[in-house]
Amino acid sequence: MKLLRTKAELNAWLTARGDARRVLVPTMGALHRGHTSLFDQARGEAGKGGDVIATIFVNPVQFGPNEDFDAYPRPLEADLEKCADHGVDAVFAPDLSEVYAPDRSITVTEDRLSGNLCGASRPGHFDGVCTVVAKLFNLIRPDAAIFGEKDFQQLAVIRRLVRDLDFPVRIVAGPTVREEDGLALSSRNTYLTAAQRAEAPALVRSLRDIAAGIASGAIKTPCDARKAFLDRFAAASLARLDYFEIVDATTLAPLETFTGQIPRLLAAAFFGKTRLIDNVGLPRD
């Protein structure tokens, strides 16, 4: 596995690899089983002669002023071991100065999918995501890129980025990886106290219960679903709900009816200072 720290090293490696199929997995490091599942998926997408390229870069422009940029874990050596163990061919892990010029003045802005859900409480976050992903697409020129479904709004925004800016990249969704009790894997889970960790699976349990009620017909409207979710999640006494929404899975527009729609249920909640997100679709038969 090759570690690439500069754009010049990256370009030289890509040039040497020629026309090999490229599959990109962008990350901010602090890798866990959720990330390594994406590497495994990318290995299958790349095929025998293709390349899996992971990026490890904690992107400052997607952090808000009161968020945990400085505290975000950066265990590079451990991350590189995980990449090597899961078939990654090259890791691009640049310094900040390699990605952003000190006088940078261009930002990629998304103004339709990012105004609600996580975007409502994190203004500018998805502009930061779009900006760095656009740069990575330009630098690496992948055939496909894999993004996890746990960050469902991000996945939708990236799909829109590719569509609207005509990037020749196929976006592949990676299923959410969970602990045995259902909690979605996240680097932020390590910030939870023991009591908070014990309550945290209430987020996905509540989402799954409401999704099952919608699928069975027991819950007939989005308004009823919201009331049922609030009642169900109230049992998590250590949590403070940020949002619960039922949206169209493609446009992220809030639903007023379930007729003819593909609903996605999304929620975010604070356990102390730790903000967790999760989402589910309707169960399949």
- Residue scoring higher pLDDT (122 or 7): 7
Question: CA–CA separation, 101 vs 105, rounded Å?
Answer: 9
Q: What's the predicted TM-score (pTM) here?
A: 0.95
Backbone phi and psi for residue 127, each to the nearest 5 degrees, phi listed first: -65, -40
Catalytic residues: 35
The predicted-structure confidence for 115-172, as pLDDT tens digits, reads as follows 999 999 899 999 999 999 999 999 999 999 999 999 999 999 999 999 999 999 999 9
Give the model's pLDDT for residue 23.
98
Strand-pair category, 274-281 with 239-248: unpaired
54 contacts 27 by C-beta, under 8 angstroms: yes
Domains of the chain: 2-174 (3.40.50.620), 187-279 (3.30.1300.10)
For residue 252, the 8-state DSSP code is: -
SS3 content of the chain, % helix, strand, coil (to 5): 40, 20, 40
User: Which long-range contacts (C-beta less than 8 Å, at least 24 apart) are formed by 101-109?
Assistant: 106/131, 107/61, 107/131, 108/134, 108/161, 108/165
In the Cβ-directed half-sphere of 81, how many Cα atoms lie within 13 Å? 5
Tracing tokens 């990249």 back to the chain, one arrives at 169
Give the model's pLDDT for residue 121.
87
How many percent of the chain have pLDDT more than 70? 100
**Spacing of C-alpha 56 from chain mean position:** 14
Nearest to 238 by CA among 189, 194, 180: 194
Helix (H, G, I), strand (E, B) or coil at 97: helix
Q: Average of pLDDT values for 273-283?
A: 95
In this model, does residue 108 exceed pLDDT 70?
yes
Give the model's pLDDT for residue 281.
96
Average pLDDT, whole number, for the chain? Answer: 96
Residues near 217 by beta carbon (within 8 Å), at least 6 away in sequence:
none
Q: Average of pLDDT values for 187-206?
A: 96
